Amino acid sequence: MTTPVRGGRKVKITVGMPVYNARPSVASAIESVLAQDHPSFELVIVDDASTDGSGEVLRKYRGHPRVRIYANARRLGRGGTRNRILRLARGRYVTPCDADDRMLKGNLRKLSAYLDRHPAVGAAYGDMRVHEFDGKGRLIRKHTLARDCEKTWDLLENVINHAGSMIRLSFLRKIGGYDENVRYADDWSMWLKLSEVAPIKYLGGPPLYLWKRQMTRAKSRIVTHGVARIRREAIARRYGFGRKAGA
């Protein structure tokens, strides 16, 4: 079943793009989504109170039949902005695309075809091309990120490619969306909860997404702290360890 949208068309997929101070890259990210060959998708963009003029770039896309643009009155952060996108989404499936990355050819068609054929699967993802940059914006390494989540332990490491994946909106809403209290590991928190209610499948094949990864030491420390908390919460949910008596 698809949902009616502007102009009488219907949409099966919602591509969600949170934007925060991404003026140099957001147009390229948007164009990579609009170049997808799937016939039934929308792009929902939420500007998270950017201060660098990102909104000026976004205004050029207002009125595009596939694009819906919103702005947060105050900064909500990654989790809060992603959850707003989920509330706005009109597709059956949701695909995250960050404003500094690019969606590669065939992403929407390949992932949606798999979910169409496997209604019990909660999410699917493919390989990811990665360009790593140092703190000064210099490209230092290129590689491909490709790991099967069924061949690892999700409490130990997160091997699922979040950006460019495709997730059933009904399951995302069932688990309560994204954790708004985790700054950089909101995707891992979500995957841990989703894996408890539905299978997640790795499809392999040619990369479906380009991740422009920028990692600083300060960010690494924040990620480490957030991961420790979401692990404790997952262990408490699954095994009861760490819960207070009577909880």
Residue, of 122 and 241, whose pLDDT is higher: 122
Q: Is 87 left (phi over 0), alpha (psi -120 to 50) or beta?
A: alpha
Q: How confident is the model at residue 3 (pLDDT cuts 50, 70, 90)?
A: very low
Residue whose entry in the numeric block shows the structure tokens 């690494």: 220
Residue 129 has pLDDT above 80, yes or no: yes
- Banded model confidence at residue 224, pLDDT cuts 50, 70, 90: low
User: Which whole number is the average pLDDT over 80-108?
Assistant: 98
The helix/strand/coil state of 130 is: strand
With beta carbons less than 8 A apart as the criterion, state whether 106 and 189 touch: no
Q: Express as a percent the part of the chain with pLDDT over 90.
A: 78
Residue 247 has pLDDT above 50, yes or no: no
pLDDT at 1 over 50: no
Band of residue 244 on the pLDDT scale cut at 50, 70, 90 = low
Query: Region 144-172: what's the mean pLDDT?
Result: 94
Q: Side by side, which strands form the sheet with 67-71?
A: 67-71, 41-47, 13-19, 93-96, 166-168, 123-125, 200-202
CA pair distance 103, 108, nearest whole angstrom: 9
Helix (H, G, I), strand (E, B) or coil at 133: strand
State both tokens at 15: 């591509």
Name residue 129's beta-bridge partners. Answer: 144, 210
| pLDDT of 237 above 70 | yes
Burial group, residue 56, by CB count within 10 angstroms (0-12, 13-18, 19+): exposed
Contacts of 42 by beta carbon, 8 Å cutoff, 6+ apart = 5, 11, 13, 14, 15, 66, 67, 68, 90, 91
Look up the pTM and report it: 0.90
β-strands 41-47, 13-19 pairing: parallel
Domains of the chain, each with CATH number or no CATH = 3-239 (3.90.550.10)
Which of 113-117, 171-175, 185-189, 194-198 bottoms out in mean pLDDT, i.e. has the lowest?
185-189
pLDDT tens across 35-52, in order? Answer: 999 999 999 999 999 999
Mean pLDDT of the chain: 91
Residue 93: per-residue pLDDT? 98
- Of 64, 63, 67, 90, whose CA–CA distance to 19 is shortest? 67
